[in-house]
Structures are given as C-alpha cells and as structure tokens.
Amino acid sequence: MGFAAPAAPFIIGGSAAAGGITSAMGARRQNETIEATRGANRRALVAQQQQLVDESAFERRKRLDAAASIRGRMRTASGEAGVGVGGSAEALLRQNDFDAALAQAAINRNLGNVVGSVRSQWQAQDIGLQAGRQDPIMSAFAGTIAGMETGLSIVNMTQQLAKLGELKKAPGTAGGQSGVVTL
C-alpha cells in the first residue's frame, strides 16, 4: 500500500491534534475579544449615563434660574408700581413656581426614559455578545473531529494515488512505466 499505511495513524493523529488545538485557541481568543468588548461597552454606558445626568442637571439649573429671574422681575415691577405682591401678582408668581416645578418633573422623567433606553440598548448588545461565546473544550472536540476527517482524507487520497500508480505500470517497459494507463 506504500507510504500511507504505516504513516496513517500519525497523519490522522497529527491532523486531529492540530484541529483540536487550533479550534480551542480560536475559541479562547474569541471569548477574550468578547469580554474586552463587553468591558468597553460597560465603560461607555457609565460615561453616557453620567453625561445624561450632567446635561439634565444643567437643564434643571437653567429652568430654576429662569423661574427665579421671572419671579424677581415680577416683584420688581410690582414694587415700582407701588402694588404689593398679592392678588393677580401673587397668582402669577404661583403659576411661575408651578411651571418651574412642572419643568423639573419633565426633565427628571425624560432623564429616566433616556437612561432606561440606553441601558436597554446596552443589554441587547451584551446579550448578543455573550451569544457569540464558545466553549473551548467543545471547540477542541469539534476541531479534533474535523482534523481526523482531514487526516483520513489525506490517507485515503494517498492510498488512491498509490493504487493509481500501480495501475499505470505496464509489464515489459523500461523502468516499469509507460505512457499508457491501464485500468
């Protein structure tokens, strides 16, 4: 049978080992990349949430300052007119305070909604990343099987080539070879 018969176990074993090791290392590298990406995504989530909190705090401060400015102008106008802060002026001040409180509640609600949306998107990404994880042992097993199949194919091909070489030899030619293939 030629060279393939004695070497067959080594070819199959070597192919199986190479396939298993390569697959396990690939799975490990993929898992490491997934963990690094998850870490980067977590840091980005924290930074984005902090930015949203900071922006809403700034917006709340602006609204409170605007309400205080309106309140001050209304009191100044009432004082200059010689009218006390009562009656319709008091009603306007209460409305201003109510509007400021309503604006604060809307800012808080919007912040909660946006942060919730950002977290949901992060969780969906994280689930998708985790789905890409591979078990290195199972990958090694699958790679070993694939390597064995490759080794068997190599041995089979070598044996078929050896048989084909034997069929090519024609009796009575110099060196046992002729240009005619006999089957």
Alpha-carbon gap, residue 170 to 159, rounded angstroms = 19
For position 102, what pLDDT does the model report?
93
* pLDDT tens-digit readout, 61-113: 999 999 899 888 887 877 666 655 566 777 888 888 899 999 999 999 999 99
Question: Residues of the chain whose pLDDT is less than 70?
Answer: 1-5, 79-87, 167-183
For position 96, what pLDDT does the model report?
87
- Look up residue 158 and give its two tokens: 């070598």
For position 177, what pLDDT does the model report?
52
For residue 51, give the nearest of 114, 9, 139, 125 by alpha carbon. Answer: 114
